[in-house]
Amino acid sequence: MFQLNGKIAAITGSGSGIGKAVALLMAKQGAEVCLIDLNKESAEATSEEIQKGNGKSRVYACDVTDQEQVKKIFAEMHPLDILVNSAGVSHVGNIENTLAEDLDRLYQVNVKGVYHCLQAAVIIMKKQKAGVILNLASIAKNVGLPDRFAYSMSKGAVYAMTLSVARDYIHDGIRCNCISPARVHTPFVDGFIKKNYPGKEKEMFEKLSKTQPIGRMGRPDEIAGLVLYLCSDEAAFITGCDYPIDGGFIKLNN
């Protein structure tokens, strides 16, 4: 079960964190993974790890906010069976202290970047009459998280785009779903805490971990397992769905 032999999977943000975990797992399950990341060195490090395990990978340095770059690399990847939109950025702030440029940055990466990759992938998959897309949303679209105004906005848009693509291309053999993680322990989170809470890193890590009823942050490999399932043939009857993977955050945080 959950084998991806012969499939080509494109994963954005695959140089670290969740994207890297997804790439490693999909390669292990037989897919040839196309590693898309703004940081070429990080993507190459992921590629080396994959190839040490006798997996197949290709590296594409790409800024997902640049539509021409995205079009070019997706044309090179053709054909394409799976797209995982994992690249994203975060921001701390409420409506009062979120600057216009902050909002624009979140929009450019988390919304427009996903749009660029969705469009490029759909064009390929529609011709093939087959394909699977998995977007990373967040519990921030479901609940009111403190000081996450711009981030919540962007992830709400990801969810809406997921539903639209699923509906519009269901008869073209394209499935589109999203998952909504709570806090996951990645290098991104460590850097985020260090930047926004200097001198209080340990305290904030423990505090953020305990906001999940399960008592800890998720692991990237746990998120990757759900992504693998939704992108596999075993999930062929699933489209237009969002899956929280949140340690009980949405339903049990009363």
Q: Using one digit for the tens of pLDDT, what is the confidence trace for 79-110?
A: 999 999 999 999 989 999 999 999 999 999 99
pLDDT digits (tens, 9 = 90+) for 10-41: 999 999 999 999 999 999 999 999 999 999 99
pLDDT digits (tens, 9 = 90+) for 107-125: 999 999 999 999 999 999 9
Residue 220: pLDDT band (50, 70, 90) is very high
Grade residue 254 by pLDDT with cuts at 50, 70 and 90.
low
Q: List the structure tokens of 235.
A: 């999930």
Kindly report whether the global pTM for this prediction surpasses the value 0.75.
yes
Query: What is the CATH topology of the domain spanning 8-182+221-241?
Result: Rossmann fold (3.40.50)
Reading the block at residue 28, the tokens are 């292990």
Q: What is the mean pLDDT of residues 38-65?
A: 98
Contact 240/176 with Cβ under 8 angstroms?
Answer: yes
Task: Tell me where in the chain the CATH 3.40.50.720 domain(s) lie.
Answer: 8-182+221-241
Cis-peptide, bond into residue 79, ω within 30° of zero: yes
Q: Indicate which residues carry an active-site annotation.
A: 151
What is the spatial distance between Cα 20 and Cα 31, in angstroms, rounded to a whole number?
14
Secondary structure element (H or E) that encloses residue 135, with its range: strand 131-136
* Residues with Cβ within 8 Å of residue 30, at least 6 apart in sequence: 3, 4, 5, 6, 7
> Looking at residue 51, what is its pLDDT?
96
